[in-house]
Amino acid sequence: MSMTFATEIRLLSEEELEPIRRSHFPLLEELPREALLELARWLRARRNRARDLMSDHRRAKRGKSAAATPIADADRGLAAKKQVFAHGLRRVNARLDALLAAEKRARDTERLRGALARRQAQAPNHPAAGHGGQGEAQPKPSRKPRPTIHGARIGSVSQAGRNAQARRDARG
């Protein structure tokens, strides 16, 4: 579930607020790639720190840790803070993905344009039609005699089919 910016402001300290502010649009779109990578690293570190603190508190509640006694509602605030960092990281990662996709699209377009230019620069290969020189193979006429069909046999098969069908219809 997303949080309002006012809720984020209430949960964060002053030093944590500025990076979160930069992780929101439209400031996020203005950041260069290197600044986005640095912001993602910072957000990831803060989210992981909050996650680890929550884990330590849970261990202390179960009595598995030698840490001081856990604070009653500390996990609720840490969980909300972790969510703020996680949402910010999700926004930054989405922006990084969009930048990387745009770079890849531009790179692929440039490669395709280069390939098209190379293709268009080639001389067309259209050989002339007709017979070639002396060395080309020539077809030989067949020596087999053509079969001769007696005139009375032409159409006899189809006529036999018609006669058989007429007999079946007459029975019917």
Q: What is the pLDDT of residues 13-48, one digit of tens each?
A: 788 888 888 888 888 899 999 999 999 999 999 999
Q: What is the pLDDT of residues 72-81, one digit of tens each?
A: 566 778 888 9
Domains of the chain, by residue range, sit at 5-94
Q: Is the peptide bond before 139 cis (omega within 30 degrees of 0)?
A: no
Amino acid 67: pLDDT: 61
Instruction: Calculate mean pLDDT across residues 88-116.
Output: 96
Q: What is the pLDDT of residues 109-152, one digit of tens each?
A: 999 999 999 999 998 888 777 666 666 777 888 999 988 888 88
* Residue 89 and residue 49 in contact, taking contact as beta carbons nearer than 8 Å: no
